[in-house]
Amino acid sequence: MSNSSDATAVRLEEVRKTYHTGEVEVHAVRGVSIEIGQGEFVALMGSSGSGKSTLMNILGCLDRPTAGRYFLDGEDVSSLSRDELADVRNRKLGFVFQSFNLLSRTSALENVELPLLYSEIALTSAQLREKAEQVLASVGLEGRGDHTPSQLSGGQQQRVAIARALINDPEVILADEPTGNLDSRTSVEVMEIFQTLNEKGITIIMVTHEQDIASYARRNIVMRDGLVCDDIVVQNRFNATAELEKKTAAEALEAAV
Amino acid sequence: MIPKNFTRRLRLLSTFKIAARALRRNKLRSALTALGIIIGVGAVIAMVSIGNGAKAQVEAQIAGLGENIILIFSGSTTASGIRTGWGGAGTLKIEDAEAIRREVPAVTLVSEEVVSTAQVMAGNQNWFTRIYGESADYFDLRQWALADGAPFTDQDVRSANKVCVVGRTTATQIFGSEDVVGQVLRVKNVPFQITGVLTPKGLTSQGTDQDDIVIMPYTSAMKRVLGGGTTLRNINAQVASPGDLAPAQQQIIALLRQRHNIREGRDDDFTVRNQEEIAAAQTATTETMTALLAGVAVISLIVGGIGIMNIMLVSVTERTREIGTRMAVGAHGRDILTQFLIEAISLSAVGGIIGIILGIVSAKVLAAVKNWPSLISPGSIVAAFLVSAAVGVFFGFYPARKAAQLDPIDALRYE
């Protein structure tokens, strides 16, 4: 994976999604065309009802568009079957959720291994474990592999979830309000991980409604009423590492006073 | 490219891993769910084996009466409207037995029988027991061998000698040992010499100790224990083969009616039964009991199955988000279906195996405590195991399908 943004990771062409709830037709997404290159870090924003969640579901191959086409890594995935979509999710996507969605009473290692158990690649238990340990280490959780979610803090749980998203070497990481359940410092820590991963060339699409979180991304796409209303490159982008240092300094100062 | 069926097999393999992990996560719930099946299968096996044991015991007892036996009881079941019970009215004479011996060619052995109870004594010990008066043919007729000594002889019967054979219980109660041949036993203050000790037969299905008995020549019993009298309680006759039972029975009836001067159209003053009729009645009783026990056990198995379905349904609801997560990271609906099915089947299969062990152990323990034979039939083990696995599939399928059909988006958002 290169850092150059020439290749396209995601391309949406006039994507629409209409729900039928009883008599009423709800046009959640009304013709969205966007292109996201490899190595981009996009924040998808918008108020509730703007269609950003629906668009995220389509991007995540959890839902199919009613009309329009969706190319993921050059492959048209807009009309795949349920099982084919599951395989695409397994091979090309990594999910990070607001509420982590880790399996309870299950060790961090086993949680991280989960996508590999549904993959076409067959690995032995030892290989699974080794790979999971590597990925856990890359998000700063060395030696915590045997902890269960209840033994980990919120930030640590989200790191386990990020490790789970990374284990299949996905094309795109989709994060749905990844900092929604975290305090501000932990949120920045998660952003630091995202920025580091992005530096390595991993494409990240993140839904958020917090402007300051969106400022860690390279590009912000804002939705309103089922349409893209704004698509901007982030000026004065936040650097998570620098922000963390500032916070640490501020806390030290507070402690001194 | 890896062949498709190969990857599918690997996928099934990892689904097994996933299911095993899921079961391990909920150890208590898994154990409680399996418990329903454990009890169900255990009950089926224990009940069926006890039922079989009871049946075998009854059959053994009936066989213990001897083979091809016809029993002729004194008195009718309906004599002039007054029902006296078998052996109630003294209508059978010693001469009747002689006549059967002489005139019914199919009859090979005959034993005249009188029955009493008495306090028997030896030294400073005494014991209340049953006294049977029989002919010397009795031991062959009942196929009742002696553990020690010898039976009394035809000569003893003819002379009404003071000799007897005792059962093991009587021997140990009076003498404290089984080594009693040659000892003297006082029955109603008459000294009888013990010529032999019977092999033990154990309890009847009604709980009577068959070894608590003294057997002596019927002549001696009539003269010295019953204090005179010439009537018999019953006559035991044996024929050579089962085919002879019905004709011999008819001949005996005709002979006795003639001897007792019973006119055409009047009821018999005796009752004739053959062993097969008694066996059929007793076997039918135990079969009913076995069926009843098995029925109760099967119900508990079904309740166990419903328990599995209940737990699996609850667990599908409770694990909705987990299912959503699994689907998000690439699980097919079929993977989820297989996982839940494997969980259900594993629970019921493991429950089945433990249940089989428990069933065998409890059947053995019950048999030992109650002194029943326990017959563990391999058929009931195989059937119980298959049923428990089938229960897993049957009751696991609905919740599994429900889980597999969840929409990943809804499942992920489920609170």
> Residue B79: its pLDDT value, please?
45
Inter-chain CB proximity B330 and A95 less than 8 Å: no
| Cβ atoms of residues B156 and B136 within 8 Å | yes
Inter-chain CB proximity A122 and B328 less than 8 Å: no
Inter-chain CB proximity A118 and B335 less than 8 Å: yes
B9 touches chain A (CB under 8 A): no
Provide residues of A within 8 Å CB-CB of chain B: 57, 60, 62-63, 82-83, 86-87, 89-91, 95, 97, 101-106, 110, 114-115, 117-120, 122, 125, 164, 168
- Does B3 score more than 60 pLDDT? no
Tell me the per-residue pLDDT of A150-180, one tens digit each, with 9 for 90 and over: 999 999 999 999 999 999 999 999 999 999 9
As a whole number of angstroms, the distance between CA A197 and CA A190 comes to 11
- Does B269 score more than 90 pLDDT? no
Q: Is A175 exposed, middle or buried (0-12, 13-18, 19+ CB in 10 A)?
A: buried
| Cβ atoms of residues A111 and A149 within 8 Å | yes
Q: What is the mean pLDDT of residues B366-389?
A: 80
Tell me the per-residue pLDDT of B305-336, one tens digit each, with 9 for 90 and over: 888 788 888 888 888 999 999 999 999 999 99
- Does B87 score more than 60 pLDDT? no
Report which residue type is found at B397: F
B405 touches chain A (CB under 8 A): no
As a whole number of angstroms, the distance between CA B135 and CA B113 comes to 7
**Closest among B137, B146, B79 to B112, alpha carbons compared:** B137
Percent share of chain B, pLDDT over 70: 94
Inter-chain CB proximity B409 and A117 less than 8 Å: no
Tell me the per-residue pLDDT of B175-224, one tens digit each, with 9 for 90 and over: 988 889 999 999 988 999 999 999 988 877 677 888 999 999 999 999 98
> Which residues from B are below 8 Å from A110, CB to CB?
21
Q: Hey, is B279 helix, strand or coil?
A: helix
Inter-chain CB proximity B324 and A101 less than 8 Å: yes
| Cβ atoms of residues B183 and B141 within 8 Å | no
- Res. B88 pLDDT band, cuts 50 70 90: low
> Residue A182: its pLDDT value, please?
93
Tell me the per-residue pLDDT of B379-388, one tens digit each, with 9 for 90 and over: 888 888 888 8
- Does B136 score more than 90 pLDDT? yes
What is the domain class of A38-64+80-256 according to CATH? alpha beta
Which sequence spans correspond to the domains of chain A? 38-64+80-256
Let me know how long chain B is: 415
Mean pLDDT, chain B, rounded, equals 85
> Which residues from A are below 8 Å from B11, CB to CB?
118
Kindly state the DSSP code that residue B203 receives in the 8-state scheme: B
B29 touches chain A (CB under 8 A): no
> Residue B83: its pLDDT value, please?
53
β-bridge mates for residue A96, sequence order: A175
Which sequence spans correspond to the domains of chain B? 9-61+281-413, 92-259
Q: Which residue has the tokens 């089989």?
A: B356
B369 touches chain A (CB under 8 A): no
ipTM of predicted complex: 0.93
As a whole number of angstroms, the distance between CA B240 and CA A139 comes to 93
Inter-chain CB proximity A89 and B10 less than 8 Å: no
> Residue B1: its pLDDT value, please?
44
> Residue A1: its pLDDT value, please?
40
| Residue ranges in chain A modelled with pLDDT below 70 | 1-6
> Residue B385: its pLDDT value, please?
82
- Res. B390 pLDDT band, cuts 50 70 90: confident
Inter-chain CB proximity B18 and A57 less than 8 Å: no
Inter-chain CB proximity B329 and A164 less than 8 Å: yes
Q: Is B256 exposed, middle or buried (0-12, 13-18, 19+ CB in 10 A)?
A: buried
Chain B nearest-CA residue for A83 = B332
As a whole number of angstroms, the distance between CA B160 and CA A94 comes to 104
